[in-house]
Structure 1
Amino acid sequence: MACTRCKPSAMALACAALACAALSWLPALAQDVPIATVQVSGARSTPPDANRLGLGVLETPQAITAITADMMRAQGVDSLEDILLNVPGITQAGGHAGIFSNFSARGFQLENASNYFRDGLRFDRQSQISLQNIEQVEVIRGPASLQYGKLVPGGLVNFVTKKPRAVSRYEASVYVNRFGQAEAGFDATGKLDSAGKALYRLNLEARKIDSFRDSVDGESYFLAPAFTFALSDATMLDVMFEHYRHDTLRDPGQPAPDSRDPGSVTRIDPAAFFGEPDATNEVRNSSGALRLNHRVNEQWQLRADYSGSRFERDMHFTVNLNRRPAAPLRVPRVARAGFTDARSDSVRLELFGDFATGEVRHKLLAGVDRLERRVDDLTTANTMLAPVDLFHPRPTGNASYSSEPLFDERVRASDTGIYLQDQISMGAWNVMMGVRHDRLRENYHERMLDLRSRHDAGATSPSAGFTYRVAPRLSLYASYSRSLDSNMATNGCGRSYGASRGSQVEAGAKGRAWGGLQWALSAFSLTRSNGLSEDPSGAVDADDNSCLVQGAKQRSTGVELETSGRINRQVRLLAAFTQMNARVSADANPAMAGKKLRNAPRRSARMWLEYDLDAAAPGLRASLGVTHVGERFANDSNSLRLPAYTAWDAGLRYALGGDGSLQMTVSNASNRRYVEDSLPNANSVNQAAPRNVSLRYTHQF
């Protein structure tokens, strides 16, 4: 099916005009005007985009974690799951069968269309992402609507991309693992002219995908050029583009032998595949961004940002259904197809000031932003497939996919916001205050049944907080923040819903210990009101999905502790611990009150240590990590309980002579079978991969 072509919006045309105006200044590059060489640092210890006031970690009255490029290299990460397990309060929240994983923050599942950002600009994460162009991953936990608009209140994830540098550098890497997966990456940066007024960076990646699951394979390709232009002494322009192609087989997960105990899936071979060999998933994702920064004087800056993306997916997939009591060892399945075309455009204009009024210093941020999103989503009717054996599934190899539409959905949404924020410094005190007003508009049309709903809401979200520097290496803080999140009826029930609100009170302490070791302790109480829950009347749509009613109230309270850095010259540590109680406090269905939020364990922890073995072999480092995830529920009714697990990983890094390095990483070192997460419909779960050994060679030149 061809994707729907949309007319360019007025906002997109305006942004294009802004870009053309900025690019019209490029002839200045050819003029012989003295200008400082542009230098953009790639590794940053202070979040540069998730905190647009430029505040240090000790000055920020909110929990923020930054996983740097150096830490990602040291751990040998190969996926977003590997990165986010280092962050307290973050847990996996159900996979989408080989397409991508969902995550929850402080008990609330992050929305893929609104809770992810790239360089501080909204990023529509609808598929796996390449790590080739990622310099740092930042996580703000708790509501953050003040600067970022509509969000699920648990937090946000910001991907900081690799920026152009003035010093030429080239890096090539190759990777293989025991399951047959292989990839090659290339990273180049340097000057485009001798004066250093124009810089470039280019990242490329090709990957052969091979899974521990039988028949699940594919390939992906990634391209990301970026440019930085010094248009004048006071004006900088960044231009970025990414294209990602991902073609793979969709894995429907594995059904648990005991439908009341998802942990019983470990009785099935982890390699057992319950899908079909023609269940293909083809993804094309292109995005670009423009960032213009003009320094008016020493105190004031003007910023203008634009980002746009297009996501296209052509998917054929199978779904495991609930087994019948008369045939408990046979797994019924259906096949269907889906086609998605999603486009988004966002623009942001900001005025930033850093100035003093007497003894008081201000960092003032005023801005306006707008997001437009257009989604066309077609799903075909179910086709019944032959059941397969629970313990020895065999694909039929002849699955057929209906061309008859079951759902044909169209969503048009916009979010316009205006905000003001001021950070006031007075000696050891830093006080932050801000307010934002949003206007949300969403229109939903299910064209097969001609069901329509409209959502139009406005809301004001205040935020306030303070930090107090008790000592040069210790700060105490407290904050209050609110968030706004829209609810769109996309399940064929034709109902319209108002916005959900989030609010949080947080307090804690942050500090630096010996050897550069940083730590943070936070306690929070987070509430989401006017949420959605299943209709207690049992009403369903044409696809047997429960209709939803509004009015649910959910609350998450807890404590988080994290630390990272060097204990001494030889030992580096990263540790994170979360104690959390996330539950339903009120619901239209009285039976739901008191239930735990799904995929929200009461306890989770992560510890990783790296030791320099220079005394034995110069350049050699060894690491050991352990992850614990407590018991949690796979569904809202709490009838399916996922067992707790503890997993180990280990690694060796060796700096070779010259500019090369070799790394070996062992994941699930104890080769334990455990349930990593469940699929959204809870009919299937995902076993973790068996022990995996990977090798990566990197060479800089």
Structure 2
Amino acid sequence: MQLNRIFVGVSLGLVALSSAANESEANTNANAMEVITINGASFDDYQVQDASGAMRSNIPLLETAQSVTVIPEIIMAEQLATTLGEVLNNDASLSPGSTQRNREVFSSRGFELSSSTGYLRDGHQHWSHYQQPIETLSRVEVIKGPSSILYGQSAPGGLVNMVTKKPTVAPLFELSADTDQFGSTRFMLDAGGEIVEDTNYRAVLVKQDVNFDRDYYNGETRERDRFLGSLNIEHHFSDDLVVNAYYDRTNDKAGLDTGAWLDDNGDVVSEKHTINDFSWAFTDITVENIGANLSYFFNSQWDVQVGYNEQTFERERFESSPSYPSGYVAGDSYDSNPYDRFDDWQFKTAYVDLHGQVNFGGIEHNLLFGANSLDYYYGQLIERGDTITYTPGDTEPSRPELDYHNDDTLSVTKYDYYGVYFQDLMTLSEHWQVAVGGRYDKQNRSGADNESVLPKVGVLYHPAENSTIYVNYSEGFEPQSSETIDDELDQNYGMEIDAVTSKQWELGAKWQVSERLLVNTAVFNIEKSGTLISEQLDDDPVYETVTTQSGLQTHKGFEISAQGAVTDKWFVMTSAMYLHAEYEVDESYQGNTPADAPKWSASLWSRYELTDKLALNAGLFYQGARFADNANTVEKDAYTRVDVGATYTTDVMGKAVGLRLNIENLFDTDYLAGGGTNNVTIGDGATARLQMKVAF
């Protein structure tokens, strides 16, 4: 990549934008309202007042005894985000993991989020083993800490709830196209409005082609081809009864890049811009979601919400599967173990929530009674090929004749679980509130049946109408894969294995500095316990080991964030986190820090409006030094990435037109993002992107 081309292009673009802005100022401001329309939101929407996923209802953030970050659509649009990872960069409590095999992994407060239990979509558990179609989202909610009381099994760090765009009453029709200097393109249609009286819709279509800046050894460019189609229809049977039904489909095919290799010094061993996989390796994913939601309001105090979602995820992965040899030096030979594999996941979720508000004994109660369930199926077919030994510089081996259809055995995993829960937010006075809740959860799985009972409590003090100080205690759990210790030579052979549990104490404060700016702070202590620890017995005449559930992992830290309008022209979303994460008691990693858990991290995205038509953006994203492995033998350096952008809006033939120019990694900083010693993600160099959007 030639940086001078990017900077020349940006300079010319900004000059053109400034000139156009001056001309606009000299003419008329009659189209000022269209500047707002094209973004689909007021710029006040940098700050969001509530988070539906935190308490399964639209309770204000100032009345939520938990740290929650909401990333609104306007910021996703300004950043031209195309992946969930680009969105989650805006919250310092989330750190990126590996992006191998065209998917993304994240950690929240140092704990990795599971593909099956770490993500929600509109309150449903959502299988997230692929890059999420964020063009369908209106916002992303990051819910910090154990959240099992409302959603069941989940990791200690929290959950990511993706809230989808809803049907609109007013007509909406927007077309956009964007491109970058590598020739990548994305075309998008976002439409909505009334079909017939009382029936509205929202439709999104996306066609994206990506050319990556890392190539294969044979010189071919890694590419990605993605299609997304989404339709949501909502019908109002009456003022009290609303039903919507939706369907979306994602087709995503991409060449494979399982990541670069690191030596003991944390340096990339192989070529920085060269992929170790072969050019014929690919992943081909088809994901479908179909479901419906019902809302019925009995009266102004009571309502019921019912939802069902069925997700089908089919993937073929034709791997070259390169192996990182011990002591590898650039140019050495390495082995690849190809296979063709088909995965079939089916994820069925349902919930029913009853909300009510009552006044009893002089106390206002905001009540939630609910139940949710998940039915999980996974099937796999695979055919493996012979090992290939390859030396960089040689001709790439031809694609082996492999076909997963030749596998006549089907590996199957099934389980289901359900839970019932309640929650009560009690308003004792204008200054004091108490939130209490509990959950009973039952998992049915061969060899891993599990039952859990969980509490949650929070106390909120409001010293003024615009501020909150809170403390909360919450618990989470993750069932184990076996219900007993099965080693006959272990002293605790036959002992039942409980779920791995987590608990968090959090003390926080929220301050609504103005109507448009919210500041949050939180101090947290999370403990994850119950992992298996085996110890050798040297002098026991019968048993060789003793295994107990005594593992302990602690994550302590501090967060601070601000979001909203600093002035009438300057808007920010910023956060920082300090984290001390440690395996306190662990069979293999005692005293170590988990991989990809930086001690310090920070993010900043800001917007400054020069005129009604021209605005500038600047972003800063910092990740401190992180270990690439749990053994703490390899460390990745800290890095700071700087992004800039500019938006110009105008009127062409009566249509609102927006132009956006963004540069990611302005200073072309070399850095390593998430991933370990054999799958680290190389940070992209300076990348310029240009978008045009037209609102009809």
2:254 maps to 248
1:383 maps to 386
User: What is the aligned counterpart of 1:132 among 108, 119, 135?
Assistant: 135
Matches of 1:142 and 1:217, distance apart in 2: 37
1:78 maps to 82
Which amino acid in the other structure matches residue 651 of structure 1? G
1:688 maps to 683
1:530 maps to 530
User: What is the aligned counterpart of 1:471 among 442, 464, 476?
Assistant: 464
Show the 5 A alignment for 1:72-471.
72-97=76-101, 99-193=102-196, 195=197, 197-214=198-215, 215-256=221-262, 259-262=263-266, 264-265=267-268, 269-325=271-327, 329-330=331-332, 331-357=334-360, 359-381=362-384, 383-389=386-392, 395-399=396-400, 401=402, 409-426=411-428, 427-443=430-446, 454-471=447-464
Distance verdict in 2 for CA 1:486–1:356, change over 3 Å:
same
Kindly state the Cα deviation for residue 325 of structure 1 after the two structures are TM-superposed.
4.5
Q: How many residues align?
A: 623
Contact 1:661/1:698 (CA < 8 Å) preserved in 2?
A: yes
Distance verdict in 2 for CA 1:160–1:326, change over 3 Å:
closer
Kindly state the Cα deviation for residue 180 of structure 1 after the two structures are TM-superposed.
1.6
Contact 1:605/1:627 (CA < 8 Å) preserved in 2?
A: yes
Kindly state the Cα deviation for residue 498 of structure 1 after the two structures are TM-superposed.
3.8
Deviation string for 1:64-95 (max 9, x for gaps)?
00000112222332221111011131001222
Deviation string for 1:88-145 (max 9, x for gaps)?
3100122233x21100001110001111111111111111122211110001010111
Matches of 1:41 and 1:419, distance apart in 2: 35
Which amino acid in the other structure matches residue 646 of structure 1? T
Kindly state the Cα deviation for residue 365 of structure 1 after the two structures are TM-superposed.
0.5
Deviation string for 1:452-489 (max 9, x for gaps)?
xx101101010000211111221101100001212337
User: What is the aligned counterpart of 2:616 among 614, 619, 622?
Assistant: 622
2:502 maps to 502
1:8 maps to none
Q: Which range moves more in the overlay, 334-343 or 512-521? A: 512-521
Secondary structure of 1:159's aligned partner: strand
1:601 maps to 598
Contact 1:274/1:388 (CA < 8 Å) preserved in 2?
A: no
Distance verdict in 2 for CA 1:524–1:327, change over 3 Å:
closer
Which amino acid in the other structure matches residue 233 of structure 2? F
Matches of 1:233 and 1:88, distance apart in 2: 41
Contact 2:41/2:74 (CA < 8 Å) preserved in 1?
A: no
Contact 2:352/2:370 (CA < 8 Å) preserved in 1?
A: yes
Kindly state the Cα deviation for residue 694 of structure 1 after the two structures are TM-superposed.
0.5
Kindly state the Cα deviation for residue 357 of structure 1 after the two structures are TM-superposed.
2.5
Matches of 2:383 and 2:310, distance apart in 1: 29
Matched, 1:54 2:47: no
Which amino acid in the other structure matches residue 684 of structure 2? A
Deviation string for 1:36-82 (max 9, x for gaps)?
xxxx9997542134432321011100000000011222233222111
2:10 maps to none
Contact 1:320/1:684 (CA < 8 Å) preserved in 2?
A: no
Kindly state the Cα deviation for residue 205 of structure 1 after the two structures are TM-superposed.
0.6
Matches of 2:451 and 2:320, distance apart in 1: 40
Matches of 1:52 and 1:156, distance apart in 2: 13
2:557 maps to 558
Kindly state the Cα deviation for residue 192 of structure 1 after the two structures are TM-superposed.
1.6
Kindly state the Cα deviation for residue 160 of structure 1 after the two structures are TM-superposed.
0.7
Secondary structure of 1:316's aligned partner: strand
Matches of 1:45 and 1:579, distance apart in 2: 25
Matched, 1:577 2:583: no
Secondary structure of 1:375's aligned partner: strand
Which amino acid in the other structure matches residue 700 of structure 1? A
User: What is the aligned counterpart of 1:672 among 669, 672, 676?
Assistant: 669
Distance verdict in 2 for CA 1:636–1:406, change over 3 Å:
farther
Structure 1: which 5+ runs fail to align? 1-39, 444-453, 538-547
Matches of 1:575 and 1:206, distance apart in 2: 31
Contact 1:624/1:650 (CA < 8 Å) preserved in 2?
A: yes
Distance verdict in 2 for CA 1:606–1:325, change over 3 Å:
closer
Secondary structure of 2:260's aligned partner: coil
Secondary structure of 2:78's aligned partner: helix
Contact 2:270/2:329 (CA < 8 Å) preserved in 1?
A: no
RMSD of aligned residue pairs (Cα, Å): 2.5
1:4 maps to none
Query: What TM-score do you get using the length of structure 1 for normalisation?
Result: 0.84
Deviation string for 1:345-368 (max 9, x for gaps)?
111122110222254211100111
Q: Which range moves more in the overlay, 496-505 or 412-421? A: 496-505
Matches of 1:154 and 1:297, distance apart in 2: 37
Contact 2:319/2:339 (CA < 8 Å) preserved in 1?
A: yes
Contact 1:385/1:399 (CA < 8 Å) preserved in 2?
A: no
Kindly state the Cα deviation for residue 405 of structure 1 after the two structures are TM-superposed.
6.1
Secondary structure of 1:83's aligned partner: helix
Contact 2:244/2:292 (CA < 8 Å) preserved in 1?
A: yes
Query: What TM-score do you get using the length of structure 2 for normalisation?
Result: 0.85
1:10 maps to none
Structure 2: which 5+ runs fail to align? 1-39, 216-220, 488-493, 537-546
1:631 maps to 625
Matches of 1:527 and 1:674, distance apart in 2: 31
Deviation string for 1:539-573 (max 9, x for gaps)?
xxxxxxxxx99642211000011111111112112
Kindly state the Cα deviation for residue 401 of structure 1 after the two structures are TM-superposed.
4.1
Matches of 1:388 and 1:253, distance apart in 2: 18
Matches of 1:398 and 1:455, distance apart in 2: 40
Secondary structure of 1:687's aligned partner: coil
Deviation string for 1:426-458 (max 9, x for gaps)?
222111000101011223xxxxxxxxxx10110
Q: Which range moves more in the overlay, 400-409 or 137-146? A: 400-409
Which amino acid in the other structure matches residue 127 of structure 1? Y
